[in-house]
Chain A
């Protein structure tokens, strides 16, 4: 079974550049989540979608971050302009429910380094 697929696996770019992270959820899952993981803060939920609609974006750090889900099989997380403090591993996850009683399944992440 194909799991959650993220691309790119690694991204190194200079501050001020636009960064776009991509995610393909597991087919049939109607919830999609974007997380950020750092040593200092652990796993942080940035935003989640239900049936392609953003439900809660309270975790998005600031206006430089945006996320879209144009269809059930694709989502993007964009940072513009990027800053060094955005360096982290970004994970996408999908599930059959929001978290009430179904596990979220994670991709292998995008390791982002902003120089």
Chain B
């Protein structure tokens, strides 16, 4: 079956450090991957996406890395700030074309 797992449910980092949030998936046919950020009381907010023909994509302070060989996706946040505290979800397209979401990693930024 299709599944999306995260390596850590909670990640605690010092303000200013870099954060790395990981995701593992099982479906080799997935070709589109997304990272979402969800703050308390709000809906998931699109951060960055990547297609399977790429292995790296950069945005503002964020980088997504895709390793299709081991079916691993990661989100790197540079110079983590208190405003980055949230739950981060990876999502990918499954066999039916619908998005499959991971369980989420809670990022805590310590001042």
Binding site for B on A (CB under 8 A): 4, 42-43, 45, 48, 56, 91, 93, 98-101, 103-109
**CA gap between A4 and B44 in the complex, in Å:** 11
Q: How far is the CB of A112 from chain B (nearest CB, A)?
A: 14
Is A100 a contact partner of B45 (Cβ separation < 8 A)? no
Asked if B109 is at the interface (CB within 8 A of a chain A CB), the reply is no
Is B93 a contact partner of A99 (Cβ separation < 8 A)? yes
**CA gap between A43 and B102 in the complex, in Å:** 8
**CA gap between A43 and B99 in the complex, in Å:** 10
Asked if B73 is at the interface (CB within 8 A of a chain A CB), the reply is no
Is A103 a contact partner of B93 (Cβ separation < 8 A)? no
Is B32 a contact partner of A100 (Cβ separation < 8 A)? yes
**CA gap between A98 and B46 in the complex, in Å:** 15
Q: How far is the CB of A108 from chain B (nearest CB, A)?
A: 5
- A98-B97, A99-B98, A100-B97 given; A108·B41 CB < 8 A: yes
Is A106 a contact partner of B98 (Cβ separation < 8 A)? no
Asked if B43 is at the interface (CB within 8 A of a chain A CB), the reply is yes
Q: How far is the CB of B9 from chain A (nearest CB, A)?
A: 11
**CA gap between A11 and B32 in the complex, in Å:** 35
Per-residue CB contact flags for chain B residues 22-50 toward chain A (1 = under 8 Å, else 0) read: 00000000011010100001111110010
| A42 contact set on B, CB distance < 8 A | 101-104
Asked if B88 is at the interface (CB within 8 A of a chain A CB), the reply is no
| Other 19 A-B pairs with CB < 8 A, given A108-B41, A108-B43 | A4-B43, A42-B102, A42-B104, A43-B44, A43-B101, A56-B98, A91-B44, A98-B98, A99-B93, A99-B98, A100-B97, A101-B93, A103-B46, A103-B49, A104-B46, A104-B99, A106-B43, A107-B43, A109-B43
| A109 contact set on B, CB distance < 8 A | 42-43
| A108 contact set on B, CB distance < 8 A | 41-43
| B99 contact set on A, CB distance < 8 A | 45, 99, 104
Q: Which residue of A lies closest to B92 (CB)?
A: A99
